Amino acid sequence: MPGSVKLSCRNLWKVYGPDPGRFFHEGGAAPEALAAKMRAERHIPAAIDVGFDVHVGETFVIMGLSGSGKSTVVRCLSRLIEPDHGQVLLDGKDLLAASDHELIEIRRHKMGMVFQNFGLLPHLTVLENISFPLRLQGLTAAQQRDRAAHVIDLVGLNGREGSYPSQLSGGQQQRVGIARSLAVEPELWFLDEPFSALDPLIRRQMQDEFLRIQRVLKKSIVFITHDFLEALRIADRMAIMRDGRIVQIGTPEDLILNPADDYVAQFTGEVPRIKILRAHQCAVAMANRPDGLPQIGPDDRIEGLLPRLAASPAGLDVVGPGGVYLGTVTAASLVETLGRVEGASLSRVPHG
């Protein structure tokens, strides 16, 4: 993944119980053994030895079923809840060692947060809701208006500046929440299931909006979801959690095609494989191919190329950097690859 590390989470634990700190003074125990001991002594380990890096400009998705610990982790990263052990490094500085004053300044100037419940102030207009964190930053009224106007334009809320939250649809309210978090120009953006309360059509539109904004701003993002298809659309890399632990980290394609265990295989089993196939995976060398076939890139998603393939029955040439010919995608090569991938996936998913 291009870019240096923006955020590093190392050996992070969050444990609920009367005295979680005492378990970390003993040392030597493997994480699973330590978690088992905590449970036996009436403690609940919600995040167990969690570790990952988020690169500059990367969308890193954490996903899992309800109760897997994903929301606990993102709240620990922002210190909305206090971890019991580990490190959270932002640009190499441990956030867990930051004073209350330092943490307030980091949240005001470096972090943006969006949650499932939009948290809009009902007595403030769209413009006032978005300007609220800017006022806390100490910006002048003119600076607040300019910054708010910019993000209102970015999320497509022009003309609704004077509206109150009760006058907005759910999707529009979510746009206000996103705009408010972006107004502080955060270096790091946390989004915890921001679209899960929306109906499917609005949710898809908000995903498109998120992708458009990210193409423009290139933020470092931690995005929480329980929906693999949503993760597939937006993630550069992702982690799957189960019972407080990270089971596997990789690209969506890695997790689908090379699951670490049966749990990951079951988690990804319903994803249509055509959604993850890229052109280079379906290309075959053709010595006598027709001249003038349409050209595509090696990482182009096959799903989006189907109309072009239908319009070019002879195939699509896959061309790499410098115009190097890498192969041709044909209907036959696509079907063969899809059959091979689907067959391999089915063999990994346990039955009965």
pLDDT in tens, 72-100: 999 999 999 999 999 999 999 999 999 99
CB 305 within 8 A of CB 281: no
Q: What CATH number matches the domain at 273-348, 3.40.50.2300, 3.90.1280.20, 3.40.50.300, 2.60.40.1760?
A: 3.90.1280.20
Q: Are strands 188-192 and 220-225 parallel, antiparallel or unpaired?
A: parallel
CA dist 126 and 139 (Å) reads 18
pLDDT of amino acid 351: 45
Q: Which two tokens stand for residue 185?
A: 């120009």
Listed by start position, the domains of the chain span: 1-106+217-271, 273-348
Facing residues of 221 across strands?
A: 59, 189
Q: Which residues of 290-327 are buried (b: 16+ CB within 10 A; e: fewer)?
A: eeebeebebebebeebeeebeebebbbbbbeeeeeebb
pTM for this one? 0.85
CATH 3.90.1150.10 fits domain 1-106+217-271? no
pLDDT of amino acid 348: 57
**Is pLDDT above 80 for 345?**
no
Confidence of residue 197 (pLDDT cuts 50, 70, 90): confident
Length of the chain (residues): 352
pLDDT in tens, 269-309: 888 888 888 999 999 998 888 889 999 999 898 988 999 99
CB 192 within 8 A of CB 62: no
